[in-house]
């Protein structure tokens, strides 16, 4: 027996395994099962190229044995195995990996065909989160001598020769007191394998002992009929060895689409989503070329309950060559597609990929962009089915708006999918393309109004001139999102988005001389109202945009603070209040009467009421509700007299 020192980095790695890289101790089963699958993959490849190893009867298999009395769990494979040198270089030295060296020794086509999983040297050390001692007994295919590697993870390991009948590796794990009850439980081991390794390509068998009660023979049963209770022959028990396969050994997403039925897709969805409903849609893609990967994405009928929570649970699982890596990574798809459920399975990522590597990895970035386009393309197909798309929009219109704001690369594609209410349509049915199609030929902008209350928006004085000129306006009544997103969109196919509260209203044809005369006639009144209201308004103007309302408030399009309001809200910053512009309707009886009145008290009260009522009609807060009520009461008294 020879003693060896671990490489210096081993201590650092053990610390990383315990505190950083893996969230759950159970992950050691995934790592060792993956290594076993890796070893079988290697042998399968070599059997094709080395005549000495050719065996038509060979079938790769992984065995897990639990022993409650011994407080141990053993994971064994009949793969390629390791010799003494490889045990030292693969386990004793972090920087060198048996799999990595094996892959580097092969040419391009062979690399793809070998279907290797992971890198042995790193993940193996997760076993020391649960073990007090580990023995690795391995025999390399084509060689005669087997070797035993032993360590308690404290800094040294022993290697000695031993005997072993067939090639492969056996990892015996003596469990520490804290973990022995968990990992000698057949239910726990089954659960972990189902969760992480159900789709490993080779069968995984669980071996355990079970106490079985022996049934009485017919003769004994008959004899018991005539005996007293305490004299009856009792059933005996014996310990039986049990062996059962605990994984499916096939990954649905790796099977050809032509062979899969809709029911199979739906059943798999229910398994991964815990949803009792069938999905609204799914898209299954296999990519081969620069990057090799498979994706299977589902769109649920109903939005997840936690979709608008900061701590939402992502719905996409990441696999590497069918080995589960994570279901808790929010970077696999952008946040606006957080409702999507499914699988990403890459052939090119390393098994031990960390969260930090995922966020920076070019392969993952390519997969992500391609996945986004596939999902958006599937949503576009849904949009051709009116009834089904109505269900989709009811659930997911808001996240799509977030996407138009977040994802500049796919902004145009996302904008085509969003639906709006409008002055022409009370349901979420209008697309931006519909809007453009219905517009007059000389219109080159998309007009919208934002607020919290749909009814209030539809009755806003700001819409009167648009209605008069038969111009459609989008009704955006999800203020929390719309107020931030829509101003940032810029344009859709060269048509600018324009907020009706901050742009000049459509021109109403009037006599220019009459208009000039009206402006001069009401100029003293506008100055008077501005003096009364002071800093509450930026300016007072007469306007021809109004029809039945006496006044309205609009934003100053040249005010930089008004332009930055949406951006500041998105950043969580407080938006400084910008005073609005008050516009009055010179054709309205109230304004006409006010212009001819000499009653200072009356002019003061009505000036404030014109501002407050205009604000209320836009869903804005008024400065002093008590003063507003007092002014209304004052005017009511005047009316009664």
**Token pair for 540:** 């007072």
Provide the 10 A C-beta neighbour count for residue 8. 9
Digit-coded pLDDT (tens) for 207-224:
999 988 888 888 888 888
Residue 206 has pLDDT above 80, yes or no: yes
pLDDT at 113: 35
Per DSSP bridges, beta strands 420-422 and 474-476 are: antiparallel
- Lowest mean pLDDT across 59-73, 303-317, 392-406: 303-317
Output the CA angle 153-28-205, nearest 5 degrees.
Answer: 125
What share of the chain has pLDDT > 70, as a percent?
A: 87
Query: Residue ranges of the domains in the chain?
Result: 2-216+232-245, 252-392, 419-509, 512-555+573-640
pLDDT at 360: 79
Confidence of residue 227 (pLDDT cuts 50, 70, 90): confident
Name the average pLDDT for the chain.
86
Nearest to 452 by CA among 633, 596, 619: 619
Nearest to 502 by CA among 539, 448, 459, 568: 448
Residue 554 has pLDDT above 80, yes or no: yes
Residue 119 has pLDDT above 50, yes or no: no
Residue 51 has, within 13 A of its CA and on its CB side, a CA count of: 0
Residue 55 has pLDDT above 60, yes or no: yes
Residue 19 has pLDDT above 70, yes or no: no
pLDDT at 22: 45
Say which residue, 265 or 352, is predicted with more confidence.
265
Say which residue, 22 or 234, is predicted with more confidence.
234
pLDDT at 611: 95
Record the pTM: 0.70
Distant-in-sequence, close-in-space partners of 328: CB < 8 Å, separation ≥ 6: 23, 313, 314
Tell the burial category of 520 from Cβ atoms under 10 Å away from its Cβ (0-12, 13-18, 19+): exposed
pLDDT at 378: 97
- CATH number of the domain at 252-392, please? 3.30.230.80
Digit-coded pLDDT (tens) for 68-116:
999 999 999 999 999 999 998 877 554 344 334 433 444 444 443 333 3
Residue 549 has pLDDT above 80, yes or no: yes
Mean pLDDT along residues 627-635: 91
pLDDT at 572: 59
Mean pLDDT along residues 480-503: 93
pLDDT at 265: 92
**What sign does the CA torsion over 385, 391, 394, 400 have?**
negative
Starting from the edge strand earliest in sequence, which strands make up the sheet with 445-450, in order?
Answer: 425-430, 420-422, 474-476, 445-450, 495-499, 491-492
How many angstroms separate the Cα of 535 from the Cα of each of 291, 563, 577? Answer: 62, 20, 11
Q: What sections of 88-128 are H helices per DSSP?
A: 98-104, 108-114, 120-123
pLDDT at 565: 59
Say which residue, 408 or 200, is predicted with more confidence.
408
Rounded to an integer, what distance in angstroms lies between the CA atom of residue 539 and that of residue 530? 7
Residue 529 has pLDDT above 50, yes or no: yes
B/e letters for 50-78, b = 16+ CB within 10 Å, e = fewer, are: eeebeeeeeebbbbbbbbeeebbbbbbbb
pLDDT at 52: 84
Residue 343 has pLDDT above 90, yes or no: yes
pLDDT at 563: 53
Residue 505 has pLDDT above 70, yes or no: yes
The position carrying tokens 């094996």 is 102
The DSSP output letter for 188 is: H
pLDDT at 615: 93
**What sign does the CA torsion over 218, 224, 225, 229 have?**
negative
Mean pLDDT along residues 407-414: 96
Distant-in-sequence, close-in-space partners of 494: CB < 8 Å, separation ≥ 6: 444
Phi/psi for 243 (5° steps) reads -145, 125
Rounded to an integer, what distance in angstroms lies between the CA atom of residue 553 and that of residue 537? 9
- Lowest mean pLDDT across 63-77, 110-124, 437-451, 625-639: 110-124
Provide the 10 A C-beta neighbour count for residue 137. 21
pLDDT at 208: 97
pLDDT at 105: 44
Phi/psi for 238 (5° steps) reads -145, 160
Mean pLDDT along residues 494-514: 81
pLDDT at 641: 67
**Domains 2-216+232-245 and 419-509 alike in fold:** no
Was domain 2-216+232-245 assigned CATH 3.30.565.10? yes
Residue 5 has pLDDT above 80, yes or no: no
Mean pLDDT along residues 226-247: 89
Q: What share of the chain is helix, strand, coil (3-state, %, to 5)?
A: 45, 20, 35
Digit-coded pLDDT (tens) for 589-623:
999 999 999 999 999 999 999 999 999 998 888 98
CATH of 512-555+573-640, one of 3.40.50.450, 1.10.150.130, 1.20.120.790, 3.30.750.24: 1.20.120.790
The fold of the 419-509 domain, in CATH, is Rossmann fold (3.40.50)
pLDDT at 456: 94
Compute the radius of gyration of the chain from its Cα atoms.
37
pLDDT at 68: 95
Return the bridge partners of 320, or none.
323, 346
pLDDT at 117: 29
pLDDT at 21: 43
B/e letters for 265-303, b = 16+ CB within 10 Å, e = fewer, are: bbebbeebbebeebbbbbbbbebeeebebbbbbbbbeee
Residue 548 has pLDDT above 80, yes or no: yes
């Amino acid at each position: 027996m020879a003693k060896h020192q671990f490489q210096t980095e081993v201590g650092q790695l053990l610390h990383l395994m315990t505190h950083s890289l893996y969230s759950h101790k159970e992950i050691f089963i995934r790592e060792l099962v993956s290594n076993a699958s890796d070893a079988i993959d290697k042998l399968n490849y070599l059997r094709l190229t080395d005549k000495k190893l050719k065996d038509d009867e060979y079938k790769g298999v992984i065995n897990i044995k639990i022993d409650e009395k011994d407080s141990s769990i053993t994971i064994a494979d009949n793969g390629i195995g390791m010799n003494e040198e490889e045990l030292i270089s693969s386990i004793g030295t972090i920087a060198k990996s048996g799999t990595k060296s094996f892959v580097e020794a092969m040419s391009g086509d062979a690399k793809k065909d070998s279907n290797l999983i992971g890198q042995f040297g790193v993940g193996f050390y997760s076993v020391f989160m649960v073990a007090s001692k580990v023995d690795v007994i391995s025999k390399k295919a084509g060689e005669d001598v087997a070797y035993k590697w032993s360590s308690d993870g404290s800094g040294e390991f022993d290697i000695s020769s031993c005997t072993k009948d067939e090639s492969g590796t056996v990892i015996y794990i003596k469990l520490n007191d804290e973990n022995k009850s968990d990992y000698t439980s057949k239910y726990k081991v089954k659960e972990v394998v189902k969760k992480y390794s159900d789709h490993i390509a080779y069968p995984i068998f669980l071996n355990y002992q079970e106490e079985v009660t022996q049934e009485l023979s017919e003769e004994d049963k008959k004899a018991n009929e005539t005996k007293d209770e305490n004299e009856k022959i009792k059933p005996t028990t014996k310990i039986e060895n049990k062996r059962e396969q605990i994984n499916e050994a096939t990954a649905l997403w790796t099977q050809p689409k032509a062979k899969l039925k809709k029911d199979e897709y739906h059943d798999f969805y229910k398994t991964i989503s815990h949803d009792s409903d069938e999905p609204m849609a799914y898209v299954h893609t296999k990519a081969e070329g620069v990057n090799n990967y498979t994706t299977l994405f589902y769109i649920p009928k109903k939005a997840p309950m936690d979709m608008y929570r900061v701590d939402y649970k992502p719905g996409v699982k990441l696999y590497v060559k069918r080995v589960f890596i994570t279901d808790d990574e929010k970077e696999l798809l952008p946040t606006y597609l957080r409702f999507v459920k499914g699988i990403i399975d890459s052939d090119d990522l390393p098994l031990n990929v960390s969260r930090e590597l995922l966020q920076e990895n070019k392969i993952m970035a390519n997969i992500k962009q391609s996945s986004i386009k596939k999902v958006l393309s599937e949503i576009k197909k849904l949009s051709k089915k009116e009834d089904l798309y109505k269900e989709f929009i009811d659930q997911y219109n808001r996240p799509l708006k977030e996407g138009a704001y977040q994802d500049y690369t796919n902004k145009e594609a996302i904008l085509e999918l969003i639906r709006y209410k409008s002055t022409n349509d009370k349901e979420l049915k209008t697309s931006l393309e519909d809007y453009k199609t219905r517009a007059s030929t000389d219109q080159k902008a998309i007009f919208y109004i934002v607020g919290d209350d749909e009814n209030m928006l539809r009755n806003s004085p700001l819409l009167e001139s648009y209605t008069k000129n038969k111009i459609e306006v989008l009704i955006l009544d999800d203020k929390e999102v719309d107020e931030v997103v829509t101003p940032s969109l810029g344009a859709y196919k060269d048509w600018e988005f324009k907020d009706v509260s901050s742009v000049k209203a459509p021109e109403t044809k009037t006599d220019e001389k009459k208009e000039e005369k009206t402006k001069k006639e009401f100029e003293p009144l506008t100055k008077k109202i501005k003096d009364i209201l002071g800093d509450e308004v930026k300016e007072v103007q007469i306007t021809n945009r109004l029809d039945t309302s006496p006044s309205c408030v609009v934003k100053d399009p040249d005010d930089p603070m008004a332009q930055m309001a949406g951006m500041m809200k998105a950043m969580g910053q407080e938006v400084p209040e910008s005073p609005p512009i008050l516009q009055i309707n010179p054709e309205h009886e109230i304004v006409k009467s006010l212009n001819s009145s000499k009653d200072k008290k009356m002019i003061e009260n009505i000036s404030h009421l014109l501002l407050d009522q205009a604000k209320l009609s836009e869903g804005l807060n008024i400065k002093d509700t008590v003063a507003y009520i007092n002014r209304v009461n004052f005017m009511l008294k005047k009316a009664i007299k």
